[in-house]
A and B are shown apart, each in its own frame.
Chain A
Amino acid sequence: MQSANLDELKKDSRSLELNTLSLWISKLGIFIVVGIFLIVGPLVSAKFYTLANLTTILQTVAILGIVAVGVAFVTYSGHYADLSVPSVMAFAGIITVATLHYGIAISLLLGILAGLSIGIINGFVVGVYKANPIIWTLAVEYVLNGLMRWIWGANQIYPDLHGNNGRAASSFVNLARQYVGPIPLVFILLFCAVIIGQLILSKTRFGRRLKVVGSSAEVAKFSGINVPLTIGIAFLISAFAASIGGIFLTSLVKLGVYSNGTGYDFNAVTAVVVGGVSLAGGRGNIVGVLGGTLLLGILVNVLNLIGVSQLYQTIVEGVIFIIVVGVNQKSLRKLGRDDA
């Protein structure tokens, strides 16, 4: 055979340069938008760059960010979103409060385990039985919500600050108000979540399997990847992040109640998608999710600073998101990487 000829790789004269701008936009597009807001912010209000204001921004979205990092795994796996997030948050919080008399460490552990148990159920039903993720997690959301109302009779349960384990109760309430040096604990947790999430997604074998599963579950199956297990783990991560977020939220509002996580589902999905994680699965990164989260926070803040009413805020948010997603899509197309 013509080994001599076949050995030299054929030179193709057709190659053109890729559009570098598009390349950057597709990678970090969301941070460009965040950057724009950081430039526009001070023009809108002199208060924007005060430390207090920047802290406020982060405060409002830190918990959301943690939850969104988890949801991103589900989205990345090609299963759109985990809509059971609000009740998982509430559930983890309630269980923690309800078991505070065992001491803070054990109650936190039980709270997280409670949330994880929901994640296992979700992962099992969606992964093994291939239930529609939206319908299933929505059903879980309702059932768990109802269950919590039934068990605790729609009552709010308070950490008992003066009872027999007042120390555990007060350290629980302080959790969300804890500082490590000058930095709030919850910020540190958010950045840990982002970094660990990013590492899991891009560096681990699980992350690479998840990418194949998210791109095409059928191909993954034919490639010898354990698809149900991979999907299950994605839901587990989502539940884990939601539990952590829920416990912090419960600590912040100082009471455990079934309605604690309300709204976190759609906000998390927004942060995830605006952050560039494709709803079709297999594309995006966790750092982008942080960007999406920050954007949400800054946007609300700027609108508040200029005194836009709640009603108009939603409209502005909507428009901004459409633009961000649109720009992202366009740069992908320029690179020939869109899904069309």
Chain B
Amino acid sequence: MKTVLEMKQVSKKFPGTYAVKTIDFDVFAGEVHALLGENGAGKSTLMKVIAGYFNDYTGEILVNGKTVQLHSPAMAKANGIQMIYQELSLAKPISIAENLLAGRLPTKGTWLLDRKTLIHESKKLLGRVGLGHIDPLVAVEEISQSEAELVEIAKALGNNPSILVMDEPTSALSKEEVDRLFGIINVLKKQGIGIVYISHHLPEISKIADRVTVMRDGEKVATKDITDVTTEALVEMMIGRAAGEMYRKRSSSIKEDVKLEVKKLSRRGFFHNIDFHVRRGEILGICGLSGAGRSELARSLVGIDPIDGGEIHLDGTEIQFRSMNRALAYGLAYLSESRKEQGLALRLSVGENILSASISRYSPKDGKEIVKKLIKDLQVNPAEDHRMIATLSGGNQQKVLLAKWMATEPKVLILDEPTRGVDIGSKMVIHQAVMEMANRGYSVILITSDLPELAGLSDRVIIMRNGHFIGEIDRVDCTEEELLLAANGKGEYVNAIRESR
């Protein structure tokens, strides 16, 4: 088999830490090589080395058997390496076409943009990722996150890569979208492209990968053929011990009193006539596909977006917030799905971020205490409160984000994709924390596209589809399969509620 990429003894140091330490890593043509490891293991950093992100790595890198210097993204591209970043890199206000062909826009003569070729070329690229039906002239901000993800891949394909790196490409995708992505990956494999695939989702790995390399604390643990290892073995290699049972139904902590009740809540174009309630100590899941209006509902609940009709009752009194700070004063907190734009201030330290939503709550001294405690409870790694948040790995940033909202001691905590990009060990930690909050009498509203998580944590699940409330599933019946059916508007629970009323 042809080796398209070979890394020998590659290391990369950051101020204050080694992120990657003497790694050997190779990729064959036409294979998917999965890269696994806990949050902060160094996966993204290793891939950034390949993508030419750093000019100060050490070690040797060979592409197609030739030693190369990958000291800039341009050099990496010139060597046929393309990377899909953990956070998308598309320019939102400009068109898909211009994003796709950025840096090599077709011209007529020397100066004029050749629109026809632009459209033609981008249509061709979009077709390769199954987006042939989309108009390449619409702006990226107008398409959904999952489509943007595919556009990002199309953009990479435009440069005819021989090596494609995908850093957690499925963390924001629903199951159908993941399947679609896998279809595309299989086609790319046949074309002889070597693919590096980073994910925390192990079932995915066994489905798509040919080989797998596990990293821990910046070092390589092992490289194996996927057929030679079990999922359990992989987990053990990642975290250095066997994992316990992932979800254990907790004994319910639901109290009688209704904490939050929503009646006929609407926001035109986003969600319509939504009814639900959540009790004290209850974890209420909201199930739905992306675009079902779940996040929009959450944003309206906490006053970030307006509502057009309906009522919100908190502890039995009607209430409406016009901004997040009012909502927060009443004990409503919202962990947003977009960590980088709305969740964490990347130029602040870990401690400052954790306290950023509870500045009036703590004295500086208490603040320090609570930061220390949350860092420890949620196992943020490295456990240093003065670290700049941008230097933490993606999964650890996510833990800090949860810590930030836990610090506000909310009465109702709305979690929107709380474990995006988090490794399995840390996921258990986060789940544990959420369940403990419910046990202490907090109400939790959980929005997640991770169905096992939804099934495992929720006491009750309501189903949304295209902005409408279409049904409710009880805890006993709440399984992954049911949820999947329900999200797609099928299954016996859908609409059953409506009829029984």
Which residues of A does B touch, CB under 8 Å? 1-2, 5-6, 9-10, 12-19, 22, 203, 205, 208-209, 211-212, 215-216, 218-226, 280, 282-283, 334-337, 339
- CB of B345 within 8 A of CB of A282, answer yes
CB distance from A74 to the nearest CB of B (A): 17
7 more A-B residue pairs beyond the given contacts A208-B359, A219-B341, with a C-beta to C-beta distance below 8 A = A9-B383, A16-B16, A17-B16, A219-B342, A219-B344, A222-B334, A225-B359
Q: Which residue of chain A is the closest to B387 with respect to CB atoms?
A: A336
CB distance from B358 to the nearest CB of A (A): 9
Give 23 A-B contacts (CB < 8 Å), ordered by A residue: A6-B425, A12-B217, A13-B217, A14-B21, A14-B217, A15-B382, A208-B352, A209-B359, A212-B348, A218-B342, A219-B356, A220-B356, A221-B324, A222-B324, A223-B324, A223-B356, A224-B323, A224-B357, A225-B325, A225-B359, A282-B345, A336-B14, A336-B15
B357: chain A residues at CB < 8 Å are 223-225
- CB of A211 within 8 A of CB of B352, answer yes
Task: Tell me the bound Cα distance from A12 to B329 in angstroms.
Answer: 39
Task: Tell me the bound Cα distance from A216 to B248 in angstroms.
Answer: 39
Task: Tell me the bound Cα distance from A1 to B427 in angstroms.
Answer: 12
- CB of B352 within 8 A of CB of A15, answer no
Where chain A touches its partner, the secondary structure class is loop
Which residues of chain B from 307 to 351 have any CB-CB distance to chain A below 8 Å in the complex? 323-325, 327-329, 334, 336, 341-348
Verify if B163 is at the interface (C-beta below 8 Å from A): no
Q: Which residue of chain B is the closest to A19 with respect to CB atoms?
A: B15
CB distance from A319 to the nearest CB of B (A): 27
Task: Tell me the bound Cα distance from A225 to B19 in angstroms.
Answer: 35
| B324 in complex: contacting residue of A12, A212, A224, A280, CB < 8 Å | A224
CB distance from B259 to the nearest CB of A (A): 19
- CB of A18 within 8 A of CB of B347, answer no
| A16 in complex: contacting residue of B17, B217, B334, B336, CB < 8 Å | B17
Verify if B391 is at the interface (C-beta below 8 Å from A): yes
| B355 in complex: contacting residue of A13, A203, A208, CB < 8 Å | A208
Task: Tell me the bound Cα distance from A19 to B345 in angstroms.
Answer: 24
A283-B18 in contact given A15-B382, A223-B357, A224-B357 (Cβ < 8 Å): no
A19: chain B residues at CB < 8 Å are 15
CB distance from A7 to the nearest CB of B (A): 9
Rank and list the top 8 A-B pairs by shortest CB-CB distance, nearest first. Answer: A224-B328, A215-B345, A223-B357, A224-B325, A336-B15, A14-B18, A224-B324, A216-B345
Q: Which residue of chain A is the closest to B380 with respect to CB atoms?
A: A9
| B359 in complex: contacting residue of A6, A15, A205, CB < 8 Å | A205
Binary interface profile of B, 416-453, with partner A (CB < 8 Å = 1, else 0)?
00000000010011001000000000000000000000
Q: Which residue of chain B is the closest to A18 with respect to CB atoms?
A: B16
Task: Tell me the bound Cα distance from A218 to B15 in angstroms.
Answer: 28
Which of B217, B324, B346, B408 has the most CB atoms of chain A within a 10 A radius of its CB? B324
Verify if B221 is at the interface (C-beta below 8 Å from A): no
B17: chain A residues at CB < 8 Å are 12, 14-16
CB distance from A196 to the nearest CB of B (A): 18
A219-B345 in contact given A6-B429, A13-B217 (Cβ < 8 Å): yes
- CB of B345 within 8 A of CB of A337, answer no
A212: chain B residues at CB < 8 Å are 345, 348, 352, 356, 359
- CB of A337 within 8 A of CB of B388, answer yes
B356: chain A residues at CB < 8 Å are 212, 219-220, 223, 225
CB distance from B349 to the nearest CB of A (A): 9
B347: chain A residues at CB < 8 Å are 215-216, 280, 282-283, 339
- CB of B241 within 8 A of CB of A5, answer yes
Which residues of chain B from 1 to 53 have any CB-CB distance to chain A below 8 Å in the complex? 13-19, 21, 40
Task: Tell me the bound Cα distance from A220 to B341 in angstroms.
Answer: 10
- CB of B21 within 8 A of CB of A224, answer no
- CB of A222 within 8 A of CB of B304, answer yes
- CB of B391 within 8 A of CB of A216, answer no
| A221 in complex: contacting residue of B19, B244, B304, B376, CB < 8 Å | B304
- CB of A1 within 8 A of CB of B432, answer yes
Verify if B146 is at the interface (C-beta below 8 Å from A): no
Q: Which residue of chain A is the closest to B332 with respect to CB atoms?
A: A224
Q: Which residue of chain A is the closest to B341 with respect to CB atoms?
A: A218
Task: Tell me the bound Cα distance from A212 to B360 in angstroms.
Answer: 13
Q: Which residue of chain B is the closest to A225 with respect to CB atoms?
A: B325
Which of A6, A226, A282 has the most CB atoms of chain B within a 10 A radius of its CB? A6
